[in-house]
Structure 1
């Protein structure tokens, strides 16, 4: 993990490069580079992990600034998994929301999040308003 450089700033992010890394690792959900930029810039906090010019980790947290937060887009590139990179991304994000209840959705990483103190809770629901990723901005 020592070769991974972490940043919590969107300054200088190569959004097309980030998207390309996510696509390569099959973690892309169809957002354009511009949508990735807006998603990150509108988040409470972000973390990027880089090795050289390439992206190997990413994560964001949304928060109301008082009592509720939500982890989103937590990703570590396959070659860097099980090396503490994802744990460091989450640690840095959680440090920005002391005293808050933090939620997340995951399909296949429950064991990982359990090691970080998260517990499953029943009753979650979600809905897409209109069409996925179509916010009228083009």
Structure 2
């Protein structure tokens, strides 16, 4: 567990407020609104690692999830910070904990985003190159 600006970044899955995460992903996240609750529950159950962000009262205000083979590859997903808590470096702290400071620090990471390129570029993410293939979907 790490502390940043009065918030805690923690990878303890027992601390996760599943209802708070679902509430955000199902209503606020452009990338996630197509999922059903059953889809989300399956994704959470099979996640390689989760990292949460909690305010001074222990309320969940952010989340990140990773899928991985546990050896060399990781996919970063569902990264968010509640709107009222943005601007304090929390999104960067979540990403740092997941990809640089945790057990996946030596992995090759991948992600998709429509609006957070600047955040991820700070961690070395670049636009897809000719060696990466993606099967597109119409799920928004």
Q: Same fold (TM over 0.5)?
A: yes
SS in 2 for 1:38: helix
SS in 2 for 1:16: helix
Q: Deviations over 1:46-67 (max 9, x none)?
A: 1111223532110011111222
SS in 1 for 2:14: coil
Structure 2 match to 1:90: 95
1:126 aligns with 2:135: yes
Aligned residues: 129
SS in 1 for 2:51: strand
Change (3 A) 1:80 1:12: closer
Match of 2:16 among 13, 17, 20: 13
Structure 2 stretches lacking a partner, 5+ long = none
8 A Cα contact 1:49 1:58, kept in partner: yes
8 A Cα contact 2:22 2:37, kept in partner: yes
Structure 1 stretches lacking a partner, 5+ long = 133-138
Change (3 A) 1:56 1:12: closer
Q: CA deviation at 1:43?
A: 1.2
Structure 2 match to 1:39: 43
Change (3 A) 1:12 1:101: closer
Q: Distance in 2 between matches of 1:61 and 1:113?
A: 15
- RMSD between aligned residues: 2.5
SS in 2 for 1:70: strand
Structure 2 match to 1:75: 80
Match of 1:58 among 49, 57, 63: 63
Q: CA deviation at 1:124?
A: 3.9
8 A Cα contact 2:54 2:60, kept in partner: yes
